[in-house]
Amino acid sequence: MTQALVAVVLFMAAMAALPWLVRRLQQRQAGGVAGGGMVSKVVSAVAVGPHQRVVTVEVGPENARTLLVLGVTAQNIQCLHVLSAPAAPVPAPDFARALQEQTRIPAPPEPHHAP
């Protein structure tokens, strides 16, 4: 009976320590990637529907950053556009204004009536 109780206690302790161990391993892996200069950063995220977003992510090493414009849904992530990042980070309000200008539909020309 004592051996079974010790086995159950050890099993419960291992199960309790498992989340801590997984978190520790994830932090170690993220630290290894960040140490190499490969840090990803979300620049902006715009909701375009209840479960759809357009997200701009800055990725790559410090000397060659790239901006990815991603369409994100609950089932899928699709790369919409790839840009080389400028020397200075693009602030989110400027990106939103640029996106708004690019998607603006021009007004139709007014018809001319001959007198």
Cβ neighbours of 58 (radius 10 Å): 17
Q: Is the pTM of this model over 0.75?
A: no
Q: How far is CA 22 from CA 25, 52, 80, in A?
A: 5, 30, 33
Cβ neighbours of 56 (radius 10 Å): 22
Q: Residue 84's closest CA among 59, 109, 55?
A: 59
Collapsed DSSP state (helix, strand, coil) of residue 91: coil
pLDDT digits (tens, 9 = 90+) for 5-22: 999 999 898 888 888 888
pLDDT digits (tens, 9 = 90+) for 28-53: 776 655 555 567 888 889 998 898 99
